[in-house]
A and B are shown apart, each in its own frame.
Chain A
Amino acid sequence: MNRYPVWKYAILVIALLVGVLYTLPNLFGEAPAVQVSAGKSSVKVDLTTQARVEEALKAAGIAADAITFDGNSIKARFASTDVQLKAKDAIQKSLIPDVADPSYVVALNLLSRSPAWLSAMGAAPMYLGLDLRGGVHFMLQVDMQAALTKKAESLAGDLRSALREKNVRHGGISRNGQAIELRVRDSQTLEAAKAVLADQFADLQYVDAPDGTEYKLTATIKPVSARLVQEQAVKQNMVTLHNRINELGVAEPVIQQQGPDRIVVQLPGVQDTAKAKDILGRTATLEMRLVDDSAEARAAESDTGPVPFGMERFKERNGQSVIVKKQVIITGENLTDAQPGFDSQNQQPKVDLTVDAKGGRIMRDTSRENLKKRMAILLFEKGKGEVLTAPVIQGELGNRFQISGSMTVTEANDLALLLRAGSLAAPMEIIEERTIGPSLGAENIAKGFNSVTWGFLVIVAFMCVYYMMFGLFSGIALGVNLLLLVAVLSMLQATLTLPGMAAMALALGMAIDSNVLINERVREELRNGASPQAAINAGYDRAWGTILDSNVTTLIAGVALLIFGSGPVRGFAVVHCIGILTSMFSAVFFSRGLVNFWYGRQKKLKGVSIGTVWRPDAGSAVTKVE
């Protein structure tokens, strides 16, 4: 009765193998590495960059252990910190000729030392939280009211020009909070205004009320549109934050949305909070200016003449110089949206731009006077301007216009993103901030590790003494539990924090519960005179119901923490929940497998080694040993 079919043993062996494979990367430790990623939104890291990195290292005579490209960055691993620092200098010299204007971020990082075949399987070490590796954590709240107000403001402007276009005479448009108020004299005009609203402003809902002899029309942003505005505001702010953080040279920044209006930024390894905060809070600006096409400007473009008076020289992304006027047509403030799309006539990729009413008026005048001339769109980051694109004005422009021609789909997407990234969609406020020094992180790892190790050893020792062979089985099962827990955490790449390590220790302490329950039950069956095989069978069977009950109640608490917890509590809850699940597998299924393997084959089993089975009627201890 105490035998497992072969398939059950097969499951155990496979689970163990997978567990060992995915736990392995954690044992190899980390090696110093240099990471190269894009330093500007307009620069892409690809295989050619990898070739440049390899060349630079070869030229400097530095041997890298491995160079990998993961889609966003190139990571090169080195044997020691000395080599790492030399390599960083070499790569920096070759990739960044102008230190004042770096196109790439070359950052020091740590990389798993695990062999390539393990990494190829997707096995990676657990992702350590900030409290274990040191760094800065920010939580930013996006001011959604401001985003909505901004939207209402731009819609009010749009409405004003739309009414003028349709010759609807109104008594004034004003923005009151997030509502737009429109006054009209008579019911005829009211109907005309309503028609314009219904026709052109899908984002607005409106109510009208008589106000004395006049009518007042109050338009508000529809809830659906408001949600859209908020989503876009958060997304745009995240893109902007991403671009700015690149500047800090952080190897693996985390930028995540949390809830509807919050953004979490984690910068591992960064200690200078002041600089980080300064960079997060800064605004990049977008400017549109006219390009000078005069003969002097042409000469200046090709570096054969001086830059004419009232002009400035900027570089395009491909390095081409462009001479533009100093006078700014409109800035990013007037730009409300930029979306990639396809031209309906020739199916070419394009970018649709929307500017507010004021911007639209200026664009109309400027474009009428400068037909067939080029207009440059400049992005200023860190006080340095760069020409994103300089298209030729093909006609009279208004509120909405498009940039098209000689673009790939990716280029159109990038351009739209860069245009939007020019400014934050809504102001943000830091509502939570945490800094953890690197030495504290290392100390925390050691503390968590010590807690788990010592607790584990003492429990196993106690189990072995108290339950003999069965105690040893329980101890091995507990070890397997730890192995599986680490493997699952590595697989999920869940963030391990100090509370997470505490949960790991607690999970082990609670997991042994199931084995004690089983062992006590087996003893009790033996005490009541059952044969050893029957006692093992009954012990496991009867304990199972209780184990399930107790684990379900613990899991309820774990899930509640997972749902409502944030930050440190969530780190605890994830490990807690996974620990309960792995403990059910190891404490019941795996330990039974061990017991079956050891005792199950013996048909005439005389006794099992489970420590003292004490009988009250005998009055003395009866020790059954095999």
Chain B
Amino acid sequence: MEFFKIRKDIPFMRHALVLNVVSLVTFLLAVFFLFSRGLHLSVEFTGGTVMEVGYSQAADVGKIRGVISGLGYTDVQVQNFGTSRDVMIRLPAKKGVNSAQQSEAALAALKQADPDAVLRRSEFVGPQVGEELAVDGLKALGMVVVGIMIYLAIRFEWKFAVAAIIANLHDVIIILGFFAFFQWEFSLPVLAAVLAVLGYSVNESVVIFDRIRENFRRFRKMNTVEIIDNAITSTISRTIITHGSTQIMVLSMLLFGGPTLYYFALALTIGICFGIYSSVFVGAAIAMWLGIKREDLIKGGVSKANDPNDPNAGATV
């Protein structure tokens, strides 16, 4: 079986400008939503209490909200979680109250209203922990970005490092943009997924850059645009197949992993889809705009005689 029967190199770079504008617009939209709507941060970051309560029959969310509001909470979120019988309740951190006892008071009230209520899970996070997690998350992101850039700069060249990081940060911002736009819950596992995607989709850029370097060695006659086009065309099948097979796994998590893994898998899905797009259209194009040259990649330089831009190349006197 072969999905990719490509006769000629696809001129990806011809549309680079248009696609980069599209990327920029998507990116700006994502940034806009991040600022206008903000992330719907989970209790791990904000501090507060989350309870998951199971009922024997379909739960009446409105009634539960009423019971919890009766305890004196103003900003309570009650929603179904997974099935109609399971309910997730989020209580904000209350100053001055021993917050570790929040869940017990709430459960007692719920049991009074409906003796069937069973606590399936509860989580309390103090405000100091939440702040720390957010800071640590940013530190981790910083370390990934710097680490990958240093590695790529050593292994390839700084222009590639910059191109790959811009392409992949663009993915990260777009994932965050999706979470902001749909107000999906941004929890610690989602953060882990985002960082894993960052490391993973850099792979794609690496594969293409690797091929660009190889092509610079092999095809001395081609110009940079042709070399990039050829590199992308010859790696596109593996890009799509590897991402496809990773996506199979992620899909399996999305379907079977239950509500706990749902957003984790969702973040990965968006990351994988945009990962393909960004490494093909964004990363290589940025490298092109940055002006990669044969000399950048082939150490020791190319002798003047073989310069493809020199009309007299190869001529001997």
> Which residues of chain A have a CB within 8 Å of any CB of chain B?
131, 139, 141, 273-274, 277, 429-437, 439-440, 443-444, 447-448, 450-452, 454-456, 458-459, 462-463, 465-466, 498-499, 502-503, 505-506, 508-510, 512-513, 516-517, 520, 524, 545-546, 549-550, 552-561, 563-569, 572-573, 576, 611-614, 616, 621
B118-140 residues with Cβ-Cβ distance < 8 A to A are: 118-126, 128-129, 133, 136-137, 139-140
A437–B53 alpha-carbon span in the complex (Å): 10
Check if B196 sits within 8 Å of A558, measured CB to CB: yes
Is B255's beta carbon under 8 Å from chain A? yes
**CB pairs A–B below 8 angstroms (14 shown):** A430-B100, A433-B122, A433-B124, A434-B123, A437-B54, A437-B119, A437-B120, A448-B261, A512-B245, A549-B203, A554-B196, A557-B199, A564-B143, A572-B192
Q: Which residue of the partner chain A has the closest CB to B268?
A: A506
Is B219's beta carbon under 8 Å from chain A? no
Check if B245 sits within 8 Å of A550, measured CB to CB: no
- How many Å from the CB of B191 to the closest CB on chain A? 7
- How many Å from the CB of B87 to the closest CB on chain A? 13
Check if A569 sits within 8 Å of B126, measured CB to CB: no
Is B97's beta carbon under 8 Å from chain A? no
Is B220's beta carbon under 8 Å from chain A? no
Check if A431 sits within 8 Å of B151, measured CB to CB: no
Among B133, B148, B247, the residue within 8 A (CB) of A553 is B148
- For residue B202, which residues in chain A have a CB less than 8 angstroms away from its CB? 550, 553-554
Among A439, A448, A563, A568, the residue within 8 A (CB) of B140 is A563
Is B7's beta carbon under 8 Å from chain A? yes
Check if A557 sits within 8 Å of B196, measured CB to CB: yes
Check if A447 sits within 8 Å of B203, measured CB to CB: no
Is B189's beta carbon under 8 Å from chain A? yes
- How many Å from the CB of A437 to the closest CB on chain B? 4
Stretch at the interface among B16-24, B233-241, B284-292: B233-241
Is B6's beta carbon under 8 Å from chain A? yes
A564–B234 alpha-carbon span in the complex (Å): 38
- For residue B133, which residues in chain A have a CB less than 8 angstroms away from its CB? 566
Is B68's beta carbon under 8 Å from chain A? no
- For residue B139, which residues in chain A have a CB less than 8 angstroms away from its CB? 564
Among B6, B192, B246, the residue within 8 A (CB) of A561 is B192
Is B188's beta carbon under 8 Å from chain A? yes
| Secondary structure of the A contact surface, majority rule | helix
Check if B250 sits within 8 Å of A431, measured CB to CB: no
- Write the B241-263 contact mask toward A (1 if CB under 8 angstroms, else 0): 11001111111110111101100
B204-256 residues with Cβ-Cβ distance < 8 A to A are: 206-207, 210, 234, 237-238, 241-242, 245-253, 255-256
- For residue B7, which residues in chain A have a CB less than 8 angstroms away from its CB? 616
Q: Which residue of the partner chain A has the closest CB to B3?
A: A466
Among A455, A513, A520, A552, the residue within 8 A (CB) of B237 is A520
Is B14's beta carbon under 8 Å from chain A? no
- For residue A553, which residues in chain B have a CB less than 8 angstroms away from its CB? 148, 151-152, 199, 202-203, 206
Check if B155 sits within 8 Å of A549, measured CB to CB: yes
Check if A502 sits within 8 Å of B257, measured CB to CB: yes
- How many Å from the CB of B147 to the closest CB on chain A? 4
Is B315's beta carbon under 8 Å from chain A? no
Q: Which residue of the partner chain B has the closest CB to A497?
A: B189
Check if A569 sits within 8 Å of B245, measured CB to CB: no
A139–B255 alpha-carbon span in the complex (Å): 33
Is B75's beta carbon under 8 Å from chain A? no
Check if A435 sits within 8 Å of B119, measured CB to CB: yes
Q: Which residue of the partner chain A has the closest CB to B140?
A: A564
Check if A569 sits within 8 Å of B246, measured CB to CB: no
Known contacts A447-B260, A510-B246, A546-B210; decide if A557 and B200 are in contact (CB<8 Å): yes
Check if B195 sits within 8 Å of A499, measured CB to CB: no
Check if A448 sits within 8 Å of B257, measured CB to CB: yes
Known contacts A432-B125, A553-B148, A555-B199; decide if A512 and B257 are in contact (CB<8 Å): no
- How many Å from the CB of A462 to the closest CB on chain B? 7
B41-78 residues with Cβ-Cβ distance < 8 A to A are: 44, 52, 54
B148-182 residues with Cβ-Cβ distance < 8 A to A are: 148, 151-152, 155
Known contacts A447-B260, A498-B261; decide if A516 and B248 are in contact (CB<8 Å): no
Is B30's beta carbon under 8 Å from chain A? no
Q: Which residue of the partner chain A has the closest CB to B127?
A: A431
Among A139, A429, A564, the residue within 8 A (CB) of B137 is A564
- For residue B120, which residues in chain A have a CB less than 8 angstroms away from its CB? 436-437, 439-440
Known contacts A499-B189, A517-B242; decide if A557 and B260 are in contact (CB<8 Å): no
A567–B206 alpha-carbon span in the complex (Å): 31
- For residue B206, which residues in chain A have a CB less than 8 angstroms away from its CB? 546, 549-550, 553
Check if B210 sits within 8 Å of A434, measured CB to CB: no
Check if B126 sits within 8 Å of A565, measured CB to CB: no
Check if A565 sits within 8 Å of B192, measured CB to CB: yes
Known contacts A433-B122, A437-B121, A553-B206; decide if A614 and B260 are in contact (CB<8 Å): no
Is B317's beta carbon under 8 Å from chain A? no
A437–B123 alpha-carbon span in the complex (Å): 12
Known contacts A434-B123, A506-B268; decide if A550 and B207 are in contact (CB<8 Å): yes
A455–B119 alpha-carbon span in the complex (Å): 31
- For residue B265, which residues in chain A have a CB less than 8 angstroms away from its CB? 502
A157–B246 alpha-carbon span in the complex (Å): 67
Is B198's beta carbon under 8 Å from chain A? yes
- How many Å from the CB of A563 to the closest CB on chain B? 7
Given A431-B128, A444-B260, A553-B206, 16 further pairs, Cβ under 8 A: A273-B122, A432-B124, A433-B124, A436-B121, A437-B118, A502-B257, A517-B207, A549-B206, A554-B196, A556-B144, A563-B140, A564-B139, A572-B189, A572-B196, A613-B2, A616-B8
Among A436, A450, A569, A612, the residue within 8 A (CB) of B256 is A450
Check if A614 sits within 8 Å of B238, measured CB to CB: no
Known contacts A440-B120, A454-B255, A621-B2; decide if A459 and B192 are in contact (CB<8 Å): no
Check if B199 sits within 8 Å of A459, measured CB to CB: no
Q: Which residue of the partner chain A has the closest CB to B214?
A: A542
Check if B140 sits within 8 Å of A459, measured CB to CB: no
A566–B133 alpha-carbon span in the complex (Å): 8
Is B95's beta carbon under 8 Å from chain A? no
Among A431, A512, A555, the residue within 8 A (CB) of B246 is A512
Check if B100 sits within 8 Å of A447, measured CB to CB: no
Check if A459 sits within 8 Å of B249, measured CB to CB: yes
Is B104's beta carbon under 8 Å from chain A? yes
Among A429, A513, A572, the residue within 8 A (CB) of B242 is A513
A366–B124 alpha-carbon span in the complex (Å): 49
Q: Which residue of the partner chain B has the closest CB to A461?
A: B248
Check if B143 sits within 8 Å of A560, measured CB to CB: yes
Check if B261 sits within 8 Å of A502, measured CB to CB: yes
- How many Å from the CB of A45 to the closest CB on chain B? 32
Check if A566 sits within 8 Å of B143, measured CB to CB: no
A298–B148 alpha-carbon span in the complex (Å): 78
Check if A509 sits within 8 Å of B199, measured CB to CB: no
A515–B126 alpha-carbon span in the complex (Å): 45
- For residue B241, which residues in chain A have a CB less than 8 angstroms away from its CB? 466, 516, 520
Is B33's beta carbon under 8 Å from chain A? no
A176–B161 alpha-carbon span in the complex (Å): 55
Which has the most chain A C-beta neighbours within 10 Å: B147, B202, B234, B246? B246
